[in-house]
Structure 1
């Protein structure tokens, strides 16, 4: 029998439960096939913005919430750092929701002693200088990208192909989008540097990454709308950025001694 994959620490963000493009099926498969000591939820777990527009809560969204609380009840430390889409939960910072701790931000010390600042990332929006009109255009364009992404993967499944993010593929080829991502990354590591820390872990921009930026560690655990990614810390201190869809793929890793991220991509075990 195949054993569950074990991590010391896992980071998830931008799940967007309640939003029609949330890939709760992949996330639920992940939660049922891993174990960890600490699980950080780095914002936008429930998409209250989407629920306010249209109520959408299928059974697998409920099952994700149930799986998270089950892990917390069974001994996994679960820390919830609300984001902008679940901002009302910030009113409960410092409290405990059942077995789940709620924090505005936190600092994680890795196995090899690195101290990493954790926040969702919307606190950096002021550094991304976009007008209200540009934001409206961006929202409409993003919705259209997700529409294309949905249909592209519908046809890929029909032909027996694995999940692939068309939305991310297009975004990475738009110069303005790449510039916004770069500005965000620089602002994130600058904040970590200002506090005398070794790096930062965040979400918000739906762009998974694990790399050195200006001498500090920048980690973005991605999302469960476009990329279906997570960040994990192994017991030897290695950080892994993993995509979890029909097959599990190690996208990047960083050695515990601070070595460079690996560029190769190779499959992990298939989930049961």
Structure 2
């Protein structure tokens, strides 16, 4: 099993919420090494932290892991702002050593060019009707709480994990249509920018496929799917799902040697384009508007 990659992309961690799988993603990043780590938006959930969210030690450990990757593995980290961490707009663009905070970026590798964006700027709801987006966030928070309750009892009964929100998304025609339109519009945008592919997040649906000749990649999320995108040293992209990783079969990695600097392969763009199961986790969420 590969544990060294050229680039890893993660998004939608939503630190500060009960649904965030902070422990799992820290464990994931501890097992893998990469030259470039792209945090593609909604890493910190500023919306929930303003309302009923809370910052815990496990959320801080995630950033400690990122710092260790920078210091020990000399990883270049690119943090792109999302809609839930839009507070970053106040400091964009910013570079501190190997840490870059940007709106979006272009990534060139093995002769191919990818436009990387969180994806919310292509969502008319989050850009034009912010109050509806906040209302939807409240509904999604409740759905995640209900999902924890359902899976707590499924676990007690010896049943596998079941994603209630993914099930609902797959059954509601408007949700399916929205996702299809979203992916198609992003593919069109990549073509308009002269890119071979596009890498995004936002809709919490991991994907790796071709759309009208454009390579569409979505890193999924770390609330339910727990997935990441990884590019190997031959330019091949793959989705890695946390639940499919055999951690027992993975050998501990020694401190890696200095990775060669990508040499300008990653080119930031400074302008916006179109713009563990705990009993405490099954207490009803505090919802305030």
Q: TM-score, normalised by structure 2?
A: 0.78
SS in 2 for 1:224: coil
Deviation of 1:90 after TM superposition, in Å, equals: 2.3
Which region of structure 1 is more displaced relative to structure 2, 125-134 or 160-169?
125-134
Q: Distance in 1 between matches of 2:163 and 2:46?
A: 24
List alignment gaps of at least 5 residues for structure 1.
249-266
Relative contact order higher in (CA < 8 Å, ≥ 6 apart): 2
State the distance in 2 between where 1:54 and 1:170 align: 25
Q: Aligned-pair distance for 1:136? A: 6.4
Greater Cα offset, 115-124 or 155-164: 155-164
1:188 to 178, 186, 189: 186
CA gap 1:271/1:25 in 2 versus in 1, 3 angstroms: farther
Q: What does residue 59 of structure 2 align with?
A: 61
Name the stretch that deviates more: 194-203 or 64-73: 64-73
Q: Is the 8 A contact 1:73 1:99 kept in 2?
A: no
2:232 alignment partner in structure 1: 234
Aligned counterpart, 2:82: 83
Contact 1:128-1:184 at 8 Å conserved across structures: no
Per-residue deviation, residues 168-195 of structure 1 (Å, max 9, x unmatched):
1221121111111011111111111111
Confirm or deny that 1:17 pairs with 2:2. Answer: no
Structure 1 pair 244–92 and aligned structure 2 pair: CA distance change class (3 A):
same
Answer with 1 or 2: which has the greater Rg.
2
CA distance in 2: counterparts of 1:133 and 1:100, whole angstroms: 32
Let me know the Cα RMSD of the aligned residues. Answer: 2.6
TM-score by length of 1: 0.83
C-alpha offsets along residues 170-224 of structure 1, whole Å, 9 cap, x if unaligned? 2112111111101111111111111111110011111111111111011110111
Distance in 2 of aligned mates of 1:136 and 1:102: 24
* Count of residue pairs brought into register by the alignment: 250
Shift of 1:68: 1.0
Cα 1:139–1:103 shift into 2, 3 Å:
closer
Q: Mean Cα displacement is larger for which, 87-96 or 10-19?
A: 87-96
The whole-number CA distance in structure 2 between the counterparts of 1:137 and 1:103 is: 27
Question: Aligned partners of 2:167 and 2:128: how far apart in 1?
Answer: 22
Partner of 1:145: 143
